[in-house]
Structure 1
Amino acid sequence: MTMKTPNWIVTAATAAPDYTIRLTFADGKQGIYDAHPLLKKPLFAKLNNLPFFLNAKAEDGTVIWDDDLDIAPEHLYECSKPL
């Protein structure tokens, strides 16, 4: 028996200079995630460096920047504004 892919799995991500990320999810939903609230959190301090932020990519079902920094895909799904 195969498991269904969760809707919130990120299949594509493109970061923009205005600190938003355009996302595509496994269920076909597309949205824009505003990363501004993350910039105030110590855990995400590296995102304040715009060139670093723009390196966001979809990998392993979520958005990642490096081995230490990613965002929960469920959060991205719930908090992105539909396109």
Structure 2
Amino acid sequence: MEWDVVEVQTEQPLALRVLFADGTQGQVRFEPSHLTGVFAPLKDPVMFSQVHIDHGALTWPGDVDLAPDAMYDAIKTHGEWVLR
């Protein structure tokens, strides 16, 4: 799918640079206020840096993941996806 993530790298704290299968690229940023519930473990920089790609989605240990289609739509429109 066009929204499959094919490359990810961590940037500044709580930010990622992603590349999609169709060449679209942009940034994903987490606001600290979003890091609650299932996302709370991502407050730990070591855990955050363990991001990887699983079947086109960004995933962390503990079954934490992000929907690649919503991420793609936001980045295609705004160049970034801010999770607040």
Shorter chain as normaliser: what TM range?
Answer: 0.7 to 0.9
Rounded Cα–Cα distance in structure 2 between residues aligned with 1:71 and 1:19:
14
Show CA shifts across 1:16-74 (max 9, x none).
242111000011001101122531x3121110111100111122101011251111111
Query: How much identity, in percent, do the aligned residues show?
Result: 27
What's the TM-score once normalised by structure 2's chain length? 0.78
Structure 1: 5+ residue runs without aligned partners? Answer: 1-5
Matched, 1:78 2:73: yes
Q: Which residue of structure 1 lines up, in the alignment, with residue 26 of structure 2?
A: 31
Rounded Cα–Cα distance in structure 2 between residues aligned with 1:38 and 1:79:
17
Q: Which residue of structure 2 lines up, in the alignment, with residue 45 of structure 1?
A: 40
Structure 2: 5+ residue runs without aligned partners? Answer: none
Task: Tell me the SS of whatever aligns to 1:8.
Answer: coil
Q: Number of paired residues? A: 77
Ranges of 4+ aligned residues in structure 1 off by more than 2 Å: 78-83
Is the CA contact 2:13–2:45 (under 8 Å) kept in the aligned structure 1? no
Q: Which residue of structure 2 lines up, in the alignment, with residue 3 of structure 1?
A: none
What's the TM-score once normalised by structure 1's chain length? 0.79
1:7 to 2, 6, 28: 2
